[in-house]
Copies of this chain bind each other. A is one copy, B any other.
Amino acid sequence: MQHAFDIQTDGQGLYEFTSQVNGWVQAQRLSTGLLTLFVRHTSCSLLIQENADPEVQTDLRNFFHRLVPPTTDPSMSYLTHTYEGPDDMPAHIKAAMMPVSLSIPISAGRPVLGTWQGIYLFEHRKAPHTRSVAAHIVA
């Protein structure tokens, strides 16, 4: 079973799509299995993160923005891949530090996410993008 989730982004930050994933998995009507998500881009990431307090998402965005600032920041002047904009090479670096794929067992017909776990697309570019996440279930 395969599917593609399209996620519209509008700037850097986390976009939750847990309910879309759960809905698709439950529609397959299987008991156990293995769900894999794979994002088909090199300037955004997949994250499992806390879904309770939105401040967690803001803090995550701000931490990584400080750890990997735009190439206009003097501390990043050694970077050479800058012609696609000051947020481009930092986006590739963040994409190296955070997951491109996630694998989640399915039990009782649902991904075994913990109580506070949500599934997010972490957009690293400032401009709006449509991001494609490939999904696969092994029954």
Contact = CB atoms under 8 A, between A and B. Distances in A.
B102 A101 contact: yes
Q: Please tell me how many copies of the chain the complex holds.
A: 3
Given A2-B105, A42-B50, A100-B99, A63 B93 contact: yes
Given A80-B59, A107-B134, A117-B40, A49 B112 contact: no
A92 B117 CA distance: 11
12 contacts: A2-B32, A36-B105, A41-B114, A42-B48, A48-B95, A49-B92, A55-B81, A59-B81, A63-B93, A67-B67, A105-B135, A114-B132
A79 interface: yes
Interface of A: 2, 32, 34, 36, 38, 40-42, 47-50, 53, 55-56, 58-60, 62-64, 66-68, 78-81, 89, 92-93, 95-105, 107, 112-114, 116-117, 122, 132, 134-136, 138
